[in-house]
Amino acid sequence: MSAKTWSIIPALDVTELDAMVRVVRALGDHPFVHGFKLGFSMGLTHGLPRAVEAIRAHSDKPVIYDHQKAATDIPATGALFARVMAHAGIDEVILFPQAGPVTLRAWIEALHEQGRKVIVGGAMTHPGYLDREGGFLLDAAPERMYGIAREAGVRAFVMPLTKPDVAQAAALAAGLEPDMEYYSPGYGSQGGDPARFPFFQRHHVIVGRALLGADDPAAWVDAQRALLEAIV
């Protein structure tokens, strides 16, 4: 088995360009940062092309778009979404396929045709999501989502740090292979513990509020790097 690798992904969930740029400027070439995640707040406030341009002024690292949540529409809209991602310069795209397997396959294919990396999520960090938590989705839904995505050529998955039991079952459905990557929200303010995920070899930890509020983003990442790399 290959050596475990870690990275951090800042979640740039703000509305002010200056606040976003402050973080990107501080971390644009940091070796422990995989890339930068944009969400609807920047996309709807400023437009994705402008947000990506602002990031590109300070970093060549991947720009990840989290539509919160994409792939919840009809299959045919996947091609339009994929063209928008390519036009904006988005490198990696997160899908949460709550509209079903036909939509999931169509959106994956459309994004791959546009040369975008696809990351598929099925479980979220908060309570009240799955049926057993009082939520709307069947308990087995994440496993089905990940399994179908794997069959469609996806090698990257969102796994919540706050639900290690769900994440482990879903990861097994996706296939715990050395080249697979796992993107995990729930670190920092939500209290997720990466030490409970020894079965992930390539682990990107997504961080929002705790990092965005840091006085010195680079020093904050350095401190987390020491903690993460100490996990066996």
- CATH number reported for the structural domain that contains residue 130 in this entry: 3.20.20.70
Q: What does the pLDDT read at residue 232?
A: 66
Residue 175: inside a domain: yes
The 10s digit of each residue's pLDDT in 11-27 is 999 999 999 999 999 99
Mean pLDDT over the full length of the chain: 92
Q: At what angle do helices 101-113 and 141-151 cross, to 10 degrees?
A: 40
Domain, as residue range, for 119: 5-226
Report which of 12, 29, 30 is spatially closest to residue 21, judged by C-alpha positions. 12
Residue 35: inside a domain: yes
Q: Is the pLDDT at 200 greater than 90, yes or no? A: no
Least confident of 96-110, 167-181, 209-223: 167-181
For residues 81 and 162, the model is more confident at 81
What lies within 8 Å, CB to CB, of 232 at 6+ separation is 198
Residue 232: inside a domain: no
Q: Is the pLDDT at 152 greater than 70, yes or no? A: yes
Residue 52: inside a domain: yes
Residue 231: inside a domain: no
Q: What does the pLDDT read at residue 187?
A: 87
The long-range contacts involving 18-22, CB below 8 angstroms and separated by at least 24 positions, are 19/212, 20/51, 20/54, 20/55, 21/54, 21/57, 21/58, 22/217
* pLDDT grade for 2, boundaries at 50, 70 and 90: low
Q: What does the pLDDT read at residue 127?
A: 86
Question: What is the DSSP pairing of strand 156-158 with strand 181-184?
Answer: parallel
Q: What does the pLDDT read at residue 1?
A: 45
For residues 122 and 65, the model is more confident at 65
How many domains is the chain built from?
A: 1
| % residues pLDDT > 90 (the chain) | 74
What value does the mean pLDDT take over residues 197-225? 93
Q: What does the pLDDT read at residue 55?
A: 98
Q: Is the pLDDT at 196 greater than 70, yes or no? A: yes
What value does the mean pLDDT take over residues 44-56? 97
Residue 88: inside a domain: yes
Q: Is the pLDDT at 189 greater than 80, yes or no? A: no
Residue 92: inside a domain: yes
